[in-house]
Amino acid sequence: MNVVMIGAGYVGLVSGACFAEFGAHVTCVDKDAARIAALKAGEIPIYEPGLDNLVERNMRAGRLAFTTELAEPVAQADLVFIAVGTPTRRGDGYADLKYVYAAAGEVATHLQGYTVIVDKSTVPVGTAREVLRIARKANPQADFDVASNPEFLREGSAIADFMRPDRVVLGVESERAEALLRELYRPLNLIEAPILVTGLESAEITKYAANAFLATKISFINEISQLCEQTGADVHEVARGMGLDGRIGRKFLHAGPGYGGSCFPKDTVALIRMAQEHGVSSRIVESVVEVNASQKARMVSKIREALGGSVADKTIAVLGLTFKPETDDMREAPSLAILPALLDRGAVIRAHDPEGMEEAKKELPAAVIYAAGIDEAVQNADAVVLLTEWNQYRGLDLPRLRAQMRGNVFVDLRNVYERELMATHGFAYTCVGR
């Protein structure tokens, strides 16, 4: 099968390489010539564990190619996936679909033979139908269908999530489109991954509803963590007590500084807009968004209190900047809200992150000092703040850390450490909800 993937970002590149691994002939198209040149030279522009080997192996096998020109690959394609960015539009929170629509129009003019145009990007309900209208208008003679095949990939485990999905959702309108997509995903039959066939709109809403529900779990446990702090309860124990109920499930009940990333923040706001557009309520998701924003703000006051009420002239070592471990992605990372607030209050910030510092430098204020290693970050620090739970920060040499610091405050925003252990090493330890 010939597959074209439009957009070689976190989603398009992983999906394209995985489809090639399934045996399809994949051409990844991207407008960003520098990105395509890098990929052709075997350089992966994003940090995703295992992606470099997957891309290299499939390029060598002749199943994966990169180009900026879509005309020829589209003419040969059985399926054309649209995986371009759907960023939140500045100011109004709508998902910006201009790239999706531009791709649809461009693809349509080059279609030859029966082809399925598939939305892989997370797009508001109704987008597939709009893509159909745009493509039909651009090329009335073309023989094609549209489909929606949302992705449920987590950054840092995207390949595993693709290769062993909980489910594949296919939003289709014709038997032909369904047959082609089933053939593409056939390698998953081996592990009996459920293939769920729905209408276009159901597939589109499923993606948003799933992400919004996961974000709801996180904001829920973050709000419960406040009650735990006031009552001497331990949010880890509460989360375990809740999660053992099969109807609730154990995942996504870790209290922390709030969720970030390129999906939850964008998809929750987009869902709220969709509800508004269709005149229905979205009060729960609206609260989820509000709770998340206030959780980040609460972390700032937590750090201030841990330092006796003021961070002015205090040196704070921040361990972790990315929105989660195993990624270099800084999009909507809690650090982007927390660090500027600390700087505004006169703190000196010495930051470290295993992968994200290059990206962070583009987003954080220039006043942030970047340390090449943990030792350099904590040197003479009055406080250490653990913000992203990278493995490198899970086994810190606590006596060494204590000796290098000027103060003894340790603010663990990911509840990695145990209070008793920290006390034996002389740390004034605070965390979230325990």
Using CA atoms, how far apart are residues 307 and 382, in angstroms rounded to an integer?
8
C-beta of 271 vs 311, nearer to ligand UDX = 271
- The verdict on whether 263 is a catalytic residue reads yes
How is residue 87 annotated by DSSP? P
**Alpha-carbon dihedral of residues 262, 263, 265, 270, nearest 10 degrees?**
120
C-beta of 359 vs 382, nearer to ligand UDX = 359
Q: How many CA atoms lie within 13 A of 310 on its CB side?
A: 3
What is residue 176's three-state secondary structure?
helix
- Which contiguous run of DSSP H or E holds residue 256? none
- Rounded to the nearest whole angstrom, what is the least distance from the CB of residue 405 to ligand UDX in the complex? 26
Residue nearest to ligand UDX (CB): 9
Tokens representing residue 393 in the block: 């920060």
Q: Cα angle vertex 391, ends 385, 396, to 5°?
A: 55
- Rounded to the nearest whole angstrom, what is the least distance from the CB of residue 180 to ligand UDX in the complex? 21
DSSP letters of 357-382?
HHHHHHHS-TTPEEPSSHHHHHTT-S
59, 102, 163, 428: which one binds ligand UDX (CB under 6 A): 102
DSSP letters of 186-205?
GGGGGGTPPEEEE-HHHHHH
- Rounded to the nearest whole angstrom, what is the least distance from the CB of residue 327 to ligand UDX in the complex? 7
Q: Does 83 bind ligand UDX (CB under 6 A)?
A: yes
Point out the catalytic residue in the list 18, 28, 228, 263: 263
Distance of CA 42 to the CA centre of its chain: 24
Tokens representing residue 140 in the block: 């009335």
Q: Residues 153-172: x/- map of binding to ligand UDX (CB under 6 A)?
A: xxx-----------------
C-beta of 10 vs 390, nearer to ligand UDX = 10
C-beta of 134 vs 381, nearer to ligand UDX = 134
Residues 243-302 that bind ligand UDX (CB under 6 A): 252-254, 256, 259-264
C-beta of 89 vs 425, nearer to ligand UDX = 89
- Rounded to the nearest whole angstrom, what is the least distance from the CB of residue 338 to ligand UDX in the complex? 13
Q: Does 4 bind ligand UDX (CB under 6 A)?
A: no
**Which positions are annotated as active-site residues?**
263
Q: Using CB under 6 A as the criterion, which residues of the chain lie in contact with ligand UDX when the complex forms?
A: 6-12, 30-32, 35, 83-86, 99, 102-103, 121-122, 151-155, 211, 214, 218, 252-254, 256, 259-264, 323-324
